[in-house]
């Protein structure tokens, strides 16, 4: 009986160890993939080629943070992009709807930069903005 319990314990321990190794390997791959995605997003954030009007996301959200701009005949405050994900998850009074960070990034590209991001670019840019804490 002792041999059976010992054998069961060894098998169970080996099973747990293999699962933990597999899980840590998957987490390491995810971290590498996220790092690449964030790096791509950072390039896009500073790139003036994602829109058609010669501006980048950084033109407003880094260099002019806290200033007013005239957009569509209305003065608007350009907010810093740091911690944007926390504030965007709330109800957007201006658009009368709840918007995700990805929705906001996409709208900014379309309406301010006059661009059209691919799905991969939008995912990368959103990951970068979300990483700014």
Secondary structure letter of residue 111 according to DSSP: I
Instruction: Give the other-Cβ count within 10 Å of 110's Cβ.
Output: 13
- What are the φ/ψ torsions at residue 34 (nearest 5 degrees)? -65, -40
For the cut 50, the answer to whether the pLDDT of residue 9 exceeds it is yes
CA distances from 114 to 9, 88, 123 (A): 63, 21, 18
Least confident of 21-35, 58-72, 88-102: 21-35
For the cut 50, the answer to whether the pLDDT of residue 29 exceeds it is no
Global confidence as pTM: 0.63
* Superfamily (CATH H level) for 2-131: Cytochrome c-like domain (1.10.760.10)
Who's near 113: CB < 8 A, 6+ residues apart? 50, 51, 52, 53, 55, 56, 57
pLDDT in tens, 39-91: 999 999 999 999 999 888 888 777 555 555 555 566 666 666 766 666 666 66
């Amino acid at each position: 009986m002792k041999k059976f319990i010992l054998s069961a314990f060894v098998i169970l321990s080996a099973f747990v160890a293999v699962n933990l190794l597999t899980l840590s390997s998957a987490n390491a791959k995810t971290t590498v993939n996220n790092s690449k995605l964030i790096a791509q997003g950072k390039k896009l954030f500073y790139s003036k080629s994602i829109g058609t009007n010669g501006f980048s996301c950084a033109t407003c959200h880094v260099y002019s943070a806290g200033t007013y701009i005239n957009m569509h005949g209305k003065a608007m405050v350009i907010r810093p992009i740091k911690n944007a994900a926390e504030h965007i998850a709330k109800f957007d009074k201006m658009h009368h709807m709840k918007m995700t960070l990805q929705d906001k990034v996409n709208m900014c590209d379309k309406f301010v930069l006059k661009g059209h991001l691919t799905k991969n670019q939008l995912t990368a840019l959103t990951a970068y903005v979300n990483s700014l804490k």
